[in-house]
Amino acid sequence: MSRKSENTRTDIYARITDRIVADLEKGVRPWVQPWSVRNMSGRVSRPLRHNGQPYSGLNVLLLWSESVASGFMSATWMTLRQANELGAHVRKGERGATVVYASRFTKTEKDAGGGEVERDIPYLKAYTVFNCDQIDRLPDHYYRSPEPVAKPLERIVHADRFFDNTGAEVRYGGDKAYYSAVTDHIQLPQPEQFRDTASFVATRAHETLHWTSGPGRLNRDLSHYRKDRRERAFEEMLVELGSAMLCADFGIVPELEPRPDHAAYIHSWAAILGSDTRAIFQAVAHAQRAVAYLHDLQPKAEAEWEST
């Protein structure tokens, strides 16, 4: 890879990290309640591409953050070219949002002995998208408020069934929520102890994402979780990201009471990201992998629920 390409990649990492750190330093977690705008009250989702397919990974966080900052009502985003192909145009003076595309390519090189070897080289490309609120003359369906995916009670029932399908053991009692790696179980207070059922679902999502770290599952090494503040903060950041994605998949908007340790975590997250521009990319990649793992544990009919 050329020095110019490497510098471009580094700049992308830095620009995105700086944006997220700025939110955290204001005490704002950009992945929390990104759907508070008016027409999303009936249908919560991840950000959507022009063809209706949801974004994944870091792009979810980037576009949620942009929606909150700009007050966009639409969940759908597209490139300038895609808008033009639909006979629409981005209004003059509108500023686009950055999303990223990560992939790999294979390069053949000479080794020390003169033979040819193939190297797998990752690359990162940034491009710009615009929210439908910034675009005129789109087909009418881009401007219509989407219908609710399901009634609120149906969403909660589906979420409970989703977690039951994972096979994770849950024990109820006490006033604390946690995942015990020693006994491989999730401990939760009784559901009626939560302020509402959406908060219960979000907490169960959080602890189930910790559960995905276990051996025979995703095998995240949490051996220093109790002693290493950085490792603990990193794990908490990735499960928060994953929990936000799952709640969006369920169509649930939890309004969680701040936990006593959240202020400390936010400070730690800002410090981690400020010292390592790739940390948020790694955290979101782990979160996406954990969410996908839980979805893969669902029977086919369950997996198709969210697309109906």
Query: Residue 236: how many CB atoms within 10 A of its CB?
Result: 21
Tally of CA atoms within 13 A in the half-sphere of 287 that contains its CB? 28
| 104 and 47 within one domain | yes
pTM of the model: 0.77
- For residue 136, which amino acid is it? D
Which of 119, 142, 165 is the last residue before a domain boundary?
142
Residue 38 lies inside a defined structural domain of this protein: yes
Dist CA 57 CA 288 (whole Å): 5
pLDDT-derived band of residue 105, with 50, 70 and 90 as boundaries? low
Strands (E), the chain: 77-78, 89-90, 97-110, 116-131, 135-136, 170-172, 178-180, 185-188
| 300 and 156 within one domain | yes
Among residues 57, 188, 69, which one has the least CA distance to residue 133? 69
| 249 and 175 within one domain | yes
Which of 76, 107, 142 is the last residue before a domain boundary?
142
pLDDT for position 37 = 43
| Positive or negative: CA dihedral 298, 236, 213, 180 | negative
Asked if the model's pLDDT at residue 39 lies above 50, the reply is no
Q: What is the CA radius of gyration of the chain?
A: 21
pLDDT for position 153 = 64
| 7 and 109 within one domain | yes
CB 247 within 8 A of CB 202: yes
| 161 and 124 within one domain | no
Q: pLDDT tens digits, residue range 262-305?
A: 556 777 888 888 888 888 888 999 999 999 999 999 997 455 54
Query: Residue 116: how many CB atoms within 10 A of its CB?
Result: 8
**Mean pLDDT score of the chain:** 82
| 182 and 203 within one domain | yes
Please report where in the chains the tokens 């629409």 appear, as a residue: 88
Average pLDDT over residues 150-161: 77
pLDDT for position 271 = 85
Domain count across the chain: 2
Average pLDDT over residues 158-183: 94
CB 46 within 8 A of CB 107: no
Domain span including residue 77? 3-142
Q: pLDDT tens digits, residue range 282-291?
A: 899 999 999 9
Mind giving me the DSSP string for 48-71?
Answer: B-TTSPBP-THHHHHHHHHHHHHT
Residue 186 lies inside a defined structural domain of this protein: yes
